[in-house]
Every structure is written in structure tokens, then in C-alpha cells.
């Protein structure tokens, strides 16, 4: 356990622009991992990148205790030396038992902007798969990631009766409140899991969508998926469970009901 270290930054203490400065494009991660491992002088390394955080998880190569590697991680991810005090101001570091605890909390969604969300577990699994494909993940990180994702599954089972709305649900609900029943097209930026969930909810509400993404093919795939869901719903082959119905003037009460996290289906606003 003493060999494990984590260095990163998240929405808790950094802005989106600052997180983006340390981000590695997903397509470049497998090729960059061996270089990151060498520069960090680690035996094993794993990179986690989302819109809200960047985390570098590593294990030392000689069995020694992991130290504070914020200066090195800053230099590796930004391509420049930090100014005095800059790395410790922007980045956070955990070592040994604290690093393991941080990763377990992360996998269970307990360090997320939306407490208890499940998307982070899938993102961690993707990071683990990238590391294994690049042969930068060994017995220590394999065991740690297996334990973290296993704990995330146990937490999901324990909370199976209480579904917390995801960030995508909350974003879609906020958009619908803003529109207030008025016609309008909504632009969605990117194709992350949160965006996909938001697209599904908005398309179900018959809101025209404009998908904005760096690659046309991925944007078209998301648009096609949303259209398929709507077609299935219109044909009656997609069953939507309705929890409660509210008149339009009680939209605020409906929003509070969603935030309680106890819904067992969709809410209807009667216009």
C-alpha cells in the first residue's frame, strides 16, 4: 500500500480551463502512458481524465514509499517547469493509505460533483483498460482497481432502491425549466456519458437537438441514437414508467421531487 501514489486536480479546487491544461486526449493516452511511467520513474501507472478531473495513479518501481510527485506530474502533463509553489497550489497529492482511500471514494462516486453518480466507475474501468493495453498496469494497480470497482458495485447494490439523478438528468431538467414549454433548439457540446444521458432525456421530451463535437461521425452517432429512442417510443415499443404527474404551475415542486432522489420513473408536467 505504501508504494501507491495519486496526483491530480478536480472541480473541487480548479476551474474547467485549469483541468483542461493537464488533460491528455483520450486517443493519445495509450501511447503516452509508457512515456509517463518512465518520466515519473514508476513501475506502474494509470491515467484518469474526465471533464471534471485529471488523476495520475502510480506505484513506485523499487518498493519504496511513494512520495509527493506534484512537481514531476506538472512538468510531464504541461510540458514546462512549474513556477515556485505553482504545482502544490494547483495539484493535490495522496500517498500510501490516503491514496488508496481516495481511489475507493472516487470509484464509489463519493468525490463526484453529483454525489453517488455511476459514470465515474465506467471512466475508471476505461482508464484501467487503457493502462493494461499499454502494459503499464501491473499486479499492484490491477489489484487496487479490482478492489475499487468491486466496492463501487457493492455500493450500487446497497443503494439500488434509491436512484440519485445523474448530472445528465439534472442538466436536462434545468434546460426544460429554462424553456418553460416554449419551442427552441438545444445545443449539446461533446458526446460524454453525461451528454448522452442529457440527449436521451431531451429527445424524449421532443426537444430539437444540435450535437456539437470535434468529429462529425461521433456527433452523428449520438444524434442517430437519440432518434432511434424517439422512434421506438413513438411506435410503442419503448415503455416509459411514469412516477407522478404535476400541473405546469407546480414545476418547482416537481423539480424538488426529482432532487430527493426517490423517483421510480419519469415525471409528467401537464400543460
**Any idea what the CATH number is for the domain that residue 134 is in?**
3.30.460.30
- Residue 28 to residue 25: CA distance in whole angstroms: 5
| Model confidence, pTM | 0.61
pLDDT at 237: 46
Q: How many CA atoms lie within 13 A of 49 on its CB side?
A: 19
Do 136 and 206 share a domain, yes or no? no
Model confidence band, residue 25 (pLDDT cutoffs 50, 70, 90): confident
- Residue 93 to residue 185: CA distance in whole angstroms: 43
List residues bridging with 245 in a β-sheet. 268
Compute the average pLDDT of residues 143-152: 88
With a CB cutoff of 8 Å and minimum separation 6, the contacts of 100 are 1, 4, 144
Do 134 and 114 share a domain, yes or no? yes
The tens digit of pLDDT for each residue in 51-102 reads 888 999 998 887 788 888 899 889 888 888 989 998 899 999 999 899 899 8
Burial 31-44 (b: 16+ CB within 10 A, else e): ebbeebbeebebbb
Compute the average pLDDT of residues 210-216: 73
Query: What percent of the chain has pLDDT above 90?
Result: 10
Contact 48, 148 (CB under 8 A): no
Q: Is residue 103 part of a domain?
A: yes
Do 202 and 239 share a domain, yes or no? yes
- Given 126, 157, 188, the domain boundary residue is 157
Q: Is residue 162 part of a domain?
A: no
Do 22 and 152 share a domain, yes or no? yes
Asked whether residue 243 carries a pLDDT value surpassing 80, the answer given is no
Among 55, 30, 34, which residue's Cα sits nearest to residue 44?
Answer: 34
Highest mean pLDDT (candidates 36-40, 228-232, 248-252): 36-40
**Number of folded domains in the chain?**
2
The conformation of residue 249, written as its DSSP 8-state character, comes to G
pLDDT at 57: 92
pLDDT at 117: 64
Among the ranges given (53-57, 169-173, 222-226, 236-240), the one the predictor scored with the smallest mean pLDDT: 236-240
List the domain range (segments joined by +) for residue 180. Answer: 167-270
pLDDT at 242: 65
Q: Is residue 72 part of a domain?
A: yes
Asked whether residue 46 carries a pLDDT value surpassing 90, the answer given is yes
Compute the average pLDDT of residues 31-42: 88
Q: How many CA atoms lie within 13 A of 88 on its CB side?
A: 3
Do 180 and 149 share a domain, yes or no? no
- Residue 31 to residue 130: CA distance in whole angstroms: 9
Amino acid at each position: 500500500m505504501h508504494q501507491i501514489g495519486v496526483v491530480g486536480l478536480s472541480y473541487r479546487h480548479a476551474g474547467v480551463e485549469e483541468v483542461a491544461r493537464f488533460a491528455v486526449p483520450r486517443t493519445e493516452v495509450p501511447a503516452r502512458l509508457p512515456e509517463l511511467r518512465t518520466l515519473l520513474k514508476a513501475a506502474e501507472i494509470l491515467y484518469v481524465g474526465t471533464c471534471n478531473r485529471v488523476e495520475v495513479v502510480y506505484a513506485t518501481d523499487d518498493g519504496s514509499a511513494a512520495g509527493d510527485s506534484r512537481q514531476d506530474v506538472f512538468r510531464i502533463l504541461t510540458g514546462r517547469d512549474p513556477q515556485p509553489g505553482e504545482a502544490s497550489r494547483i495539484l493535490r497529492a495522496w500517498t500510501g493509505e490516503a491514496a488508496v482511500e481516495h481511489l475507493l471514494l472516487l470509484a464509489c462516486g463519493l468525490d463526484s460533483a453529483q454525489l453517488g453518480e455511476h459514470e465515474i466507475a465506467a471512466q475508471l474501468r476505461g482508464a484501467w483498460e487503457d493502462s493494461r493495453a499499454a502494459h503499464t498496469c501491473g499486479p499492484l494497480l490491477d489489484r487496487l482497481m479490482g478492489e475499487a470497482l468491486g466496492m463501487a458495485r457493492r455500493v450500487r447494490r446497497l443503494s439500488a432502491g434509491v436512484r440519485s439523478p445523474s448530472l445528465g438528468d439534472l442538466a436536462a431538467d434545468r434546460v426544460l425549466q429554462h424553456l418553460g414549454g416554449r419551442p427552441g433548439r438545444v445545443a449539446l457540446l461533446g458526446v460524454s456519458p453525461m451528454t448522452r444521458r442529457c440527449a436521451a432525456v431531451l429527445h424524449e421530451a421532443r426537444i430539437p437537438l444540435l450535437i456539437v463535437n470535434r468529429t462529425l461521425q461521433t456527433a452523428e452517432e449520438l444524434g442517430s441514437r437519440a432518434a432511434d429512442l424517439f422512434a421506438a417510443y413513438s411506435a410503442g415499443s419503448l415503455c416509459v414508467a411514469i412516477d407522478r404527474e404535476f400541473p405546469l404551475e407546480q414545476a418547482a415542486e416537481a423539480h424538488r421531487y426529482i432532487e430527493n432522489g426517490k423517483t421510480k420513473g419519469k415525471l409528467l408536467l401537464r400543460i
